[in-house]
Amino acid sequence: MKILAIVGSPRPKGNTNYLVDQALKEAAARGLETEKIILTQYRVNPCDGHEKCASFSACKHDDDVPMILDKFINADGIILGSPVYYYNMTAQMKAFVDRNYFLYTHGIPKKMFCAGLIIIGGGAGLEHAFRALRRFVKLSKNIPDDRIVTLMGYASKPGEVKNDQALVEEARKLGGRMADILSSAQSPKSV
């Protein structure tokens, strides 16, 4: 079973990326295959909104999103990690979320059993970002509440979160909880 993590922070040495690594390390220690995509290392264009996805066999954008979506739909669990920017997810993460519209219009089946949400902010608006991401995995990926594991916490300077032992431990637990869910998962769901 595999967990794919998508990181929406533009700071590779930032807090979100560090916590995502902790979660993945724990999941790997529990025997899961893991992979991480840092969105800023790829070409992720925003959706054009032409609403004609269904009439095309491939998205019209010539960027890296089709490759990322392919990994996404083949993962058993996903982690979405985003800092809070103006009370929401980052633009990088939102661009990726919007590009899932192609999968939606094509009714592409998913086999995701669980999701981990890692949301880090400097002071306010974490709940808003959380609600937006939870809605995405719940409605768009059909993952029920009891299979969505969440970590929300505060940090500002890059890497500051390393000194917050409670958050680091929570990130590891998130990876462990996802491993528990995946080990008890029965059969792939299609929607």
Q: Which residues bind ligand FMN (CB under 6 A)?
A: 9, 11, 14-17, 83-87, 120-125, 155-156, 158
Least distance in angstroms from the C-beta of 160 to ligand FMN: 7
When the beta carbons of 21 and 30 are compared against ligand FMN, the nearer one is 21
When the beta carbons of 88 and 140 are compared against ligand FMN, the nearer one is 88
d(CA 39, CA 12): 10
Least distance in angstroms from the C-beta of 129 to ligand FMN: 8
d(CA 40, CA 81): 13
Least distance in angstroms from the C-beta of 94 to ligand FMN: 13
Residue 179 Cα distances to 2, 23, 29, angstroms = 9, 10, 10
**DSSP 8-state class, residue 100:** T
d(CA 191, CA 100): 14
When the beta carbons of 82 and 113 are compared against ligand FMN, the nearer one is 82
When the beta carbons of 9 and 100 are compared against ligand FMN, the nearer one is 9
When the beta carbons of 40 and 105 are compared against ligand FMN, the nearer one is 40
d(CA 118, CA 107): 27
Least distance in angstroms from the C-beta of 161 to ligand FMN: 7
The SS3 call for residue 70 is helix
Least distance in angstroms from the C-beta of 38 to ligand FMN: 11
- Write the DSSP assignment of 119-165 as a string of letters: EEESSS-HHHHHHHHHHIIIIIT---GGGEEEEEEE--STTGGGG-H
